[in-house]
């Protein structure tokens, strides 16, 4: 008797009927209980046979939206991926929709919020709103302010923003201001006007960061790369001719083709007023390193790159650099990875605008059905590169 009291006092205070029954069963009070236990066993067996239970047990986020499950004992319903403690199978019921679960009398779980759009969608919507704010902001808002706007802690917001856009909020704001400077400079505004128009509080701060954003000083950019020196050389690799160009910041072009003259013209079109200087002996060593990298991309290129492009292009190119050698991704997948699932065509456009062959591996992007699709430097080169990387 003493033993039984102790056991019962250990039963959870929110003890469910089912649990009390099994405790009682444990204590040996069998009369009239076998039926309930037998029923539970049957219910549990039925749930366990259901493939939806496997998804719940694995907290499979891929199953979210396909169905919901409710727990009789708590009166709450959840998404399959909910991180809350796994319910006992005999207490679980499945529903096709959240509405059906609510009609049956269940409340939405406070943790996985099954009555709201999925977490990713909610995050993407919040980040999109913040991006619009950053694009329009005169000066860079503080991280704390942005996080408050999104209703998250600064740390969580920073992580979510980066997961969705591929950039930190700070880098995103900088890229946008850089774009405003670029377009103002292209329209012919004075450098000072452009800087203040883009929300840089002081000239000094802009000049500190401008090399990183424009790849050259504002005056040089406005002059179409005038006063900027770009060294280049054309070499040979197994894919044909290769042009390697370097600005003061890093490798700014790797172009592939059949005709060395055409490659030099392509470089000239890109930097119409820069001073293009043919590479000397020491420069040829650098070209040799780039050629070595093109022949074996898996080894990686440990040279600084001078990557120029809009904020969107930079996001796409960063996503491309995250595709390891030997694997591929579709345009749709890249669009999803940068948090703009509808921008598939723009992703293709950014791939076509890439000036750093192989270093920004746009050749690893293929059609949804795995087909090769186009390549700026010819589909045969793309095929050869992919074959090389797959180790076949």
Residues with catalytic roles = 78, 362
Q: CB-wise, 56 or 316, nearer to Zn ion?
A: 56
For Zn ion, the binding residue among 55, 63, 71, 82 (CB under 5 A) is 82
Q: CB-wise, 78 or 320, nearer to Zn ion?
A: 78
Q: CB-wise, 84 or 168, nearer to Zn ion?
A: 84
Q: CB-wise, 112 or 185, nearer to Zn ion?
A: 112
Minimum CB–partner distance for residue 49 and Zn ion (Å): 23
- Taking the C-alpha atoms of residue 111 and residue 82, their distance in angstroms, rounded to an integer, is 7
Q: How many residues bind Zn ion (CB under 5 A)?
A: 6
Q: For Zn ion, which stretch binds (CB under 5 A), given 48-56, 79-87, 241-249, 300-308?
A: 79-87
Q: For Zn ion, which stretch binds (CB under 5 A), given 31-39, 109-117, 179-187, 309-317?
A: 109-117
Q: For Zn ion, which stretch binds (CB under 5 A), given 33-41, 72-80, 274-282, 284-292?
A: 72-80
- The pair of three-digit structure tokens given for residue 308, joined into one six-digit string: 């120029």
DSSP state for residue 166 in the 8-state scheme: S
Cα-based torsion angle of the residue sequence 43, 49, 54, 55 in order, rounded to the nearest 10 degrees = -80
Minimum CB–partner distance for residue 321 and Zn ion (Å): 36
Q: Tell how strand 275-278 and strand 229-237 pair up.
A: parallel
Contact 245, 252 (CB under 8 A): yes
The sign of the torsion formed by the CA atoms of 362, 363, 365, 367 equals positive
For Zn ion, the binding residue among 24, 87, 112, 194 (CB under 5 A) is 112
> Does residue 109 bind Zn ion (CB under 5 A)?
yes
Q: Which residue's CB comes closest to Zn ion?
A: 109
- The pair of three-digit structure tokens given for residue 338, joined into one six-digit string: 């940068």
Q: CB-wise, 39 or 86, nearer to Zn ion?
A: 86
Q: Is residue 25 classed as helix, strand or coil in its secondary structure?
A: helix
In the window 202-261, what residues touch Zn ion (CB under 5 A)? Answer: none
Q: Residue 32: exposed, middle, or buried by beta-carbon count in 10 A (0-12, 13-18, 19+)? A: exposed
Minimum CB–partner distance for residue 12 and Zn ion (Å): 19
For Zn ion, the binding residue among 78, 185, 230, 243 (CB under 5 A) is 78
- Taking the C-alpha atoms of residue 90 and residue 36, their distance in angstroms, rounded to an integer, is 11
- The pair of three-digit structure tokens given for residue 312, joined into one six-digit string: 């969107």
Closest C-alpha among 96, 91, 87, 77 to residue 57:
87
- Taking the C-alpha atoms of residue 107 and residue 112, their distance in angstroms, rounded to an integer, is 12
Q: For Zn ion, which stretch binds (CB under 5 A), given 30-38, 102-110, 154-162, 305-313?
A: 102-110
Please give the residue ranges that form the binding site for Zn ion (CB under 5 A).
78, 82, 84, 109, 111-112
């Amino acid at each position: 008797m003493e033993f039984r009291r102790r056991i019962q006092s250990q039963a959870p205070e929110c003890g469910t009927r089912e649990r009390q029954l099994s405790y009682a069963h444990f204590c040996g009070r069998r009369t009239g209980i076998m039926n309930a236990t037998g029923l539970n066993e049957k219910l549990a067996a039925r749930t366990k046979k259901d493939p939806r239970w496997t998804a719940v047990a694995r907290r499979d986020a891929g199953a979210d939206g396909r169905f919901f499950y409710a727990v009789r004992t708590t009166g709450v319903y959840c998404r399959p991926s909910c991180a809350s403690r796994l319910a006992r199978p005999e207490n679980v019921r499945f529903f096709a929709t959240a509405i059906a679960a609510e009609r049956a009398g269940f409340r939405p779980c406070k943790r996985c919020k099954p009555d709201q759009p999925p977490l990713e969608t909610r995050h993407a919507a919040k980040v999109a709103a913040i991006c619009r704010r950053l694009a329009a902001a005169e000066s860079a808002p503080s991280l704390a302010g942005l996080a408050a706007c999104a209703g998250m802690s600064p740390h969580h917001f920073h992580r979510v923003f980066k997961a969705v856009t591929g950039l930190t909020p700070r880098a995103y704001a900088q890229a946008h201001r850089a774009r405003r400077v670029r377009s103002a400079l292209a329209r012919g505004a004075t450098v000072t006007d452009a800087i203040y128009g883009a929300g840089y509080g002081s000239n000094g701060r802009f000049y500190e960061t401008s090399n990183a954003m424009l790849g050259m000083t504002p005056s040089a950019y406005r002059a179409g790369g005038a006063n900027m020196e770009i060294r280049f050389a054309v070499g040979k690799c197994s894919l044909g001719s290769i042009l390697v160009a370097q600005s003061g910041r890093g490798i700014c072009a790797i172009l592939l083709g059949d005709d060395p003259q055409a490659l030099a013209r392509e470089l000239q079109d890109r930097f119409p007023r820069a001073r293009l200087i043919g590479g000397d002996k020491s420069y040829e060593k650098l070209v040799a390193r780039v050629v070595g990298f093109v022949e074996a991309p898996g080894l990686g290129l440990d040279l600084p790159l001078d990557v120029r492009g809009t904020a969107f292009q930079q996001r796409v190119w960063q996503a491309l650099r995250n595709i390891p050698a030997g694997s591929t991704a579709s345009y749709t997948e890249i669009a999803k990875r940068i948090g703009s699932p509808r921008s598939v065509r723009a992703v293709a456009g950014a791939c076509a605008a890439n000036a750093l062959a192989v270093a920004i591996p746009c050749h690893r992007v293929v059609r949804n059905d795995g087909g090769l699709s186009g390549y700026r430097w010819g589909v045969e080169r793309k095929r050869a590169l992919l074959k090389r990387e797959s180790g076949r």
